Amino acid sequence: MTISAVAQLEPLPLQHLRRGKVREVYIIDDDRLLLVATDRVSAFDVVMHEAIPYKGAVLTQITAWWLRQLEKDVHHHMISADADEIVAAVPSLAAHRATLAGRAMLCKRTNVFPVECVIRGYLSGSAWKEYRSSGTLAGESLAPDLRESERFDPPLFSPATKAETGHDENITLARTAEIVGPQIAAELERLSRLVYTRGRDIAAERGIIIADTKFEFGRDGEDRITLIDEVLTPDSSRFWPAEHYQPGRSQPSFDKQPLRDYLDGERKAGRWNGEAPPPVLPEHVVKATSARYLDAFRRITGSELNLTELS
Ligand SMILES: Nc1ncnc2c1ncn2[C@@H]1O[C@H](COP(=O)(O)OP(=O)(O)OP(=O)(O)O)[C@@H](O)[C@H]1O
Ligand SMILES: [Mg+2]
């Protein structure tokens, strides 16, 4: 079976709102958005030329799966992640059903709270960097002598501001309360902890450590705090293979390790300087990465991604 991975979506008859590294956001009307995950992949903050077969569908359908699990715990933005239902709701998309299959989510449009709700179950990434240099996270002290990748119990809520360019900036809980108000800040923390803990426990039973993740919330038309964006996907989270977990060092990435290893090799060989444009990826790297994403879907949801629909 030949699969065409999609880096660039065909034009859709909708108003385009924004292009992310991976996703395209379209406006349907005042109340609804269409989020479409392409198969683009980034590593070390650089978007690759090649697209990864099935990656967009994996991201969208993992989010959809989690949102269905979380229905009782939190209001969420999903209306549908099924292409037939989306086309029925938005008939102008009928000619684009194949493009949207698996990768599109019709969502309630919300007013987004300008805070990235980062929650960390393990000490890694930018948190490890700050801790190593100053013993703190977002300026607040942590226990001494923590090792890299050490598990936190309870998890740490460490919000950040959404930066338009460059890296998001970690902010204190006090600063979060100033931005959204103390009651909303407390609710965002409660919901982030609840959703992360659910996700971490389910994934752990299935061999994946969700080391940390980022949630976004918005206020819907009925004034309810609503979980939006992508949820507990490999792109919004650090997924680690549980069988290789060992504190005291950085961990391999469940999904992107074949890609990272290749890029590291190119860097060490002096063929890539770590910035855009990235090197051309050999097919075996693209295939191995695609297989990792499909495996993440399979392990988390317990079923196969419906591939026949997507090719
Ligand atoms: N229900 C919603 N209502 C309003 N905005 C939403 C909703 N769901 C998601 N969004 C917004 O859609 C945007 C998705 O674009 P984003 O730039 O994050 O794409 P991305 O491909 O994830 O890129 P990056 O990798 O750079 O984060 C975000 O700004 C997010 O706040
Ligand atoms: Mg994003």
38 φ, ψ (degrees, to nearest 5) = -80, -175
pLDDT at residue 70, rounded to an integer = 96
Atom 20 (ligand 1): residue with closest C-alpha? 20
Ligand 2 centroid to residue 10 C-alpha, Å: 21
- Based on its alpha-carbon atoms, the radius of gyration of the chain, rounded to whole angstroms, reads 19
Ligand 1 centroid to residue 282 C-alpha, Å: 30
d(CA 158, CA 116): 9
Largest CA distance in the chain: 58
pLDDT at residue 193, rounded to an integer = 98
Task: Using pLDDT thresholds of 50, 70 and 90, give the confidence band for residue 3.
Answer: low
274 and 267 Cβ atoms separated by less than 8 Å: yes
Burial 154-171 (b: 16+ CB within 10 A, else e): ebbbbbbeeeeeeeeebb
55 φ, ψ (degrees, to nearest 5) = -60, -45
pLDDT at residue 1, rounded to an integer = 44
Mutate to test the pocket of ligand 1, among 229, 232, 233 (most ligand atoms within 8 A of CB): 229
Name every residue whose Cβ is closer than 8 Å to that of residue 87 and which is 6 or more positions away in sequence: 93, 94, 97, 100
For 229-288, what is each residue's pLDDT tens digit? Answer: 999 999 999 999 999 999 999 999 999 999 999 999 999 999 999 999 999 999 999 999
Percent of the chain whose pLDDT exceeds 90: 92
pLDDT at residue 79, rounded to an integer = 98
- Return the closest-CA partner of residue 212 out of 146, 282, 157, 277: 157
For 199-214, what is each residue's pLDDT tens digit? Answer: 999 999 999 999 999 9
Ligand 2 centroid to residue 221 C-alpha, Å: 22
Ligand 1 centroid to residue 224 C-alpha, Å: 19
Give me the residues paired with residue 105 across strands: 35
DSSP codes of every residue in 150-203: PEEEEEEE--EE--SSS--EE--HHHHHHHH-HHHHHHHHHHHHHHHHHHHHHH
Atom 15 (ligand 1): residue with closest C-alpha? 20
Q: Tell me how many degrees the CA angle 197-302-41 measures, rounded to the nearest 5.
A: 75
d(CA 111, CA 275): 34
For 60-110, what is each residue's pLDDT tens digit? Answer: 999 999 999 999 999 999 999 999 999 999 999 999 999 999 999 999 999
Ligand 1 cavity residues, CB under 6 Å: 18, 20-23, 25, 33, 35, 77, 107-110, 112, 216, 218, 228-229
For 21-43, what is each residue's pLDDT tens digit? Answer: 999 999 999 999 999 999 999 99
Ligand 1 centroid to residue 294 C-alpha, Å: 22
> Which atom of ligand 1 sits closest to the CA of residue 77?
1
> Which atom of ligand 1 sits closest to the CA of residue 37?
21
pTM: 0.96
Asked whether the predicted pLDDT for residue 164 surpasses 80, the reply is no
pLDDT at residue 311, rounded to an integer = 62
For 294-310, what is each residue's pLDDT tens digit? Answer: 999 999 999 999 888 77
The total of other beta-carbon atoms located within 10 Å of residue 73's CB is 12
Ligand 2 centroid to residue 20 C-alpha, Å: 7
pLDDT at residue 46, rounded to an integer = 96
Where would I find the H helices in 28-148? 55-69, 83-89, 97-100, 125-134
The total of other beta-carbon atoms located within 10 Å of residue 291's CB is 15
Task: Using pLDDT thresholds of 50, 70 and 90, give the confidence band for residue 140.
Answer: confident
Task: Using pLDDT thresholds of 50, 70 and 90, give the confidence band for residue 167.
Answer: confident
CA-to-CA dists, residue 166 to 127, 161, 234, angstroms: 17, 11, 20
pLDDT at residue 4, rounded to an integer = 76
d(CA 226, CA 238): 23
User: pLDDT averaged over the chain?
Assistant: 95
pLDDT at residue 111, rounded to an integer = 98
108 φ, ψ (degrees, to nearest 5) = -70, 135
Task: Using pLDDT thresholds of 50, 70 and 90, give the confidence band for residue 20.
Answer: very high
Ligand 1 centroid to residue 229 C-alpha, Å: 6
Atom 16 (ligand 1): residue with closest C-alpha? 20
Atom 19 (ligand 1): residue with closest C-alpha? 20
